[in-house]
Amino acid sequence: MNNPKEILKKYWGFDSFRSQQEEIINRVLENKDTVALLPTGGGKSLCYQLPAFLTEGCTLVISPLIALMQDQVDQMNAKGIKSMMLTNTQPLNIQLDNCQYGDFKLMYCSPEKVLSKEFRQRIKELKINRIAVDEAHCISEWGNDFRPAFKQINKLRDLLPDIAILAVTATATPIVLSDIIKSLNLKDSCLFQESFVRPNIRINSISTEDKFGTLIKILSGNPDSGIIYCGSRKTTEQVVKILEQNSISCAYYHGGRTTSERKELLQNWLSEKTKIMVATNAFGMGVDKSDVRTVIHLNLPSSIENYYQEIGRAGRDGNNANAYLLFQASDKKRTREQFLQSLPDKKFIKTCYKNLCNYLNIAYGEGNDLINNLSLKEFCKTYNLNPKKTLTTLNYLEQEGVFNLIQFSKQRAMTTFLLNQNQTLELLKSQNETTQIFQHIIRNYHNIFNDTVELDLDHIVRLTNLPFKSIISALKQWHSEGNIELNYAQTDIQIQWLVPREDQYTLAPLLQRLEQNQNVKKEKVEAIIEFAYSTKACKQKQILNYFGEKNTQKCMKCNALECSQTNTIDHKLLSELILEHIKENLISLKELDLSISDYSTFDIGESVRILLENKKILLTKDNKLKIYS
């Protein structure tokens, strides 16, 4: 079976390719350099996964995202397409042996790993048939997630001169595309670029001083699947409480939840047991759900690239979907504070890096390939560091290739049994929840009576089918009773070191790039603020213009004045109705929204904006609307 369509049907279950997929795949199979700029949900990964199956040898996939790589490896292996990922949990030489002799079709790894001396020494032995560079926009200093190691991928061409490269990304401006082609030294490359137009997504920027009230209005009576993106973990939990009070099926998802919790939450959402997922922006990457009808941003994202990717998780089936960006007057300042004021200076980066190495006992010349767990809260408390600025610094050090950073929540329980086996078994004669937990521990940890062991709490949850809190409660109870010694701690970050500690050598190049990096971030933050607050130009056209796509056609769907004035809503009539309500008393936007039931929140917001711009009404300091006088 060598026909791409037959492979597509057998392993992916689709009868036909999307848009330009087939052309891209045929070019890749001809061993020609290729660039594919396809939108989120456009099937970029298939463009290297399917050719890998049809070609003798192994396709090397270089990606900056560990979680996404692991998801793809799991998906491919589930289809019977043998795949692996290079990690720091096993010696590299053993993993490369597995690749060389294991008949793998796909091998995923980070750019830092592929550029290591050991990897490059053995690269010719690995039967690599082509290289795929995923998230290729990371190669450009003007890209959304610049990662310096991507700039050096072209060194592989000297080692594998006859190997073609496929570069894929969902978001790239013209300058970024040019950087990709130049930096990878692509020869006679062909660019396959789909339009950034998402004609089935209605994009709405909504000014509201009551985001939660607007949220309820959007979702009430809406039976479809959706995502709400929030700027913090705390906000996701607050939103869920409010939605539950209004009988809206929902759950919150962020890196602070355990692995087993996140897996269950995702499955519930995919199977429609939960309708609305309230999440931080990491959610949705690599998730294949085609019938998401609504994506709502409760806070402004850090860039138009991120916003475009996130709304692209709606309407992947081609049916109509809605995207809502909620903002209020204070969001300009809040967004700049969140993304710009937390940017570290050179002194803070040096201090943070030195403290981190000391905190984790990393000596000079050591650290390469080490894995450490870290509680951000405890680390910042120890050195009196600003948590937000510290996390930004850690993200920057990751971006610069110092280490891989995985944000997650892990409950670490180191346990020593203080009773011997007979004494412990005597305690377990009674049958209750606690004894059930310890019976499972004894059966699954054979050295539990001889050594201190680290319990895999997620695994115990799955084995016992009991809540996480019950497991922790039982362990703490036995600790207090003197049956075990328990050292319990929570970590929320895992650090996989990519280079040894050499303070000056490690930091010097990245500190030189700091100013440009921060200037790029500032430009992107200002661009998303301008996009959100602009009321006149079509939202779709603004996005297209940002990505360098010239299109003068209005979407005729969004709530920008350019499009909404030609819609069926009579804003003159609605404006008169609003003025009538305001004439009697000062009124908030929420009160106005509730009192005018025949119009949507969005149409009311549009008319209020028109009235404000025309100085028919004004907004008081306590956010009340009044007649302009």
User: Model confidence at 559, in pLDDT bands (50, 70, 90)?
Assistant: confident
- Enclosing domain of residue 372: 336-409+494-522
For residue 279, name the pLDDT band (cuts at 50, 70, 90).
very high
Q: What is the mean pLDDT of the chain?
A: 86
Q: Is residue 547 part of a domain?
A: no
Q: In this predicted structure, what is the pLDDT of residue 514?
A: 87
Domain boundary among 159, 193, 227: 193
Tens of pLDDT, residue by residue over 365-398, are 887 778 888 888 889 999 999 988 998 899 889 8
In the block, residue with structure tokens 């790589």? 69
Same domain, yes or no, for 512 and 395?
A: yes
Give percent of the chain with pLDDT exceeding 90. 35
pLDDT band, very low/low/confident/very high, at 142 (cuts 50, 70, 90): confident
CATH number, domain with residue 136: 3.40.50.300
The 8-class DSSP code of residue 291 comes to: T
pLDDT in tens, 57-98: 999 999 988 778 888 998 899 999 999 999 877 788 889 999
Cα 32–30–547 angle (5° rounding)? 45
pTM: 0.74
Same domain, residue pair 283 and 355: no
| Helix and strand counts by DSSP (H, E) for the chain | 28, 19
Does 318 lie in the same domain as 189? no
Asked if residue 536 belongs to a domain, the reply is no
Residue 615 shares a structural domain with residue 572: yes
Residues 280 and 361 in one domain: no
Do both 511 and 425 map to the same domain?
Answer: no
Same-domain check for residues 104 and 203:
no
Same domain, 76 and 27: yes
Pairing mode of beta strands 292-297, 403-417: unpaired
| 133-137, 427-431, 533-537: which is most confident | 133-137
Out of 209-213, 410-414, 456-460, 553-557, least confident range? 410-414
Q: Say whether pLDDT at 47 is over 80.
A: yes
Q: Which residues pair with 355 in a beta bridge?
A: none
Q: How many CB atoms lie within 10 A of CB 536?
A: 12
Taking the C-alpha atoms of residue 255 and residue 395, their distance in angstroms, rounded to an integer, is 15
In a domain, 552, yes or no: no
Say if 529 falls within a structural domain: no
Please tell me the total count of domains within the chain. 5
570-591 confidence digits (pLDDT tens): 677 888 888 888 876 788 877 7
Structure tokens at 160: 């594998």
CB atoms within 10 A of CB 90: 10
